[in-house]
């Protein structure tokens, strides 16, 4: 997972704060923001490899943000985070190119493994 840069997007500030702290402890370069708009701003400036994206957010929701990210930066991999597990949004996410889904609350090791796989995929795409 060397050199992987992660962006986490969730409207719950407390969650972001704790999550960023935990991943930094694991030596992962990570930024956290609280909305889809802010996420798109960050992507303009920073070279991000994997985005962790909450499905349910006020304003621009997770699916809209995913669509924007995938149109503008097709190489970036996106993992959707969901608390309620809606099948319809799950299907939409997969159709619009999400790499994976993770249900809240999640086990950190499971998530780290998903991040690793998403990053591996991005590298494979870059080589192709």
Partner 1 sequence: MIINVILSLISANLLIFIIFLSKKIQKIKNEKCVLDQQLVQSQKLAAIGQLSSGIAHEINNPLAIINQEAEISLHLLDSTNLKFEEQNKELKDSLSQIKIQIKRCREITHRLLSFARKNDPIIQQTDVNALIEDMALLVEKEAKLKSIVLIRKYSPELPLINTDPPLLRQVILNLLNNAMQAIEKEGEIFITTSFNPSKIEISIKDTGSGISKRNLDKIFDPFFTTKPPGKGTGLGLSICIAIINKLGGNINVESKEGQGSNFIINLPIFYTF
Residues that bind partner 1 (CB under 8 A): 67, 82, 84-87, 90-92, 94-103, 117, 120-121, 124-125, 128
Strand 50-54, strand 5-9: pairing: parallel
Q: Among residues 58 and 87, whose Cβ is nearest to partner 1?
A: 87
Is 64:89 a contact under the CB 8 Å cutoff? no
Cβ atoms of 33 and 45 within 8 Å: the answer is no
* Least gap, CB of 90 to partner 1 (angstroms): 5
Q: Which is nearer to partner 1, 46 or 120 (CB)?
A: 120
Pair of tokens at residue 76 = 């970036």
Is the CB of 14 or the CB of 126 nearer to partner 1? 126
Nearest CB to partner 1, comparing residues 33 and 102:
102
79, 98 in Cβ contact below 8 A? yes
Going by C-alpha positions, the residue among 12, 19, 91, 8 that lies closest to residue 50 is: 8
Least spacing, CB of residue 60 vs partner 1, in Å: 13
Give the C-alpha separation, 41 to 38, whole Å.
5
Q: Least Å distance between CB 124 and partner 1?
A: 5
């Amino acid at each position: 997972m060397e050199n992987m840069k992660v962006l986490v997007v969730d409207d719950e500030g407390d969650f972001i704060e704790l999550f960023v702290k935990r991943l930094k402890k694991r030596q992962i370069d990570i930024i956290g923001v609280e909305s889809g708009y802010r996420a798109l701003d960050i992507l303009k400036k920073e070279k991000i490899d994997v985005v962790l994206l909450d499905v349910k957010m006020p304003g621009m929701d997770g699916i809209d943000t995913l669509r924007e990210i995938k149109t503008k930066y097709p190489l970036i991999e996106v993992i959707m985070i969901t608390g309620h597990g809606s099948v319809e949004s799950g299907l939409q996410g997969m159709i619009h190119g999400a790499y994976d889904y993770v249900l809240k609350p999640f086990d950190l090791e499971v998530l780290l493994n998903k991040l690793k796989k998403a990053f591996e995929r991005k590298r494979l795409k870059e080589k192709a």
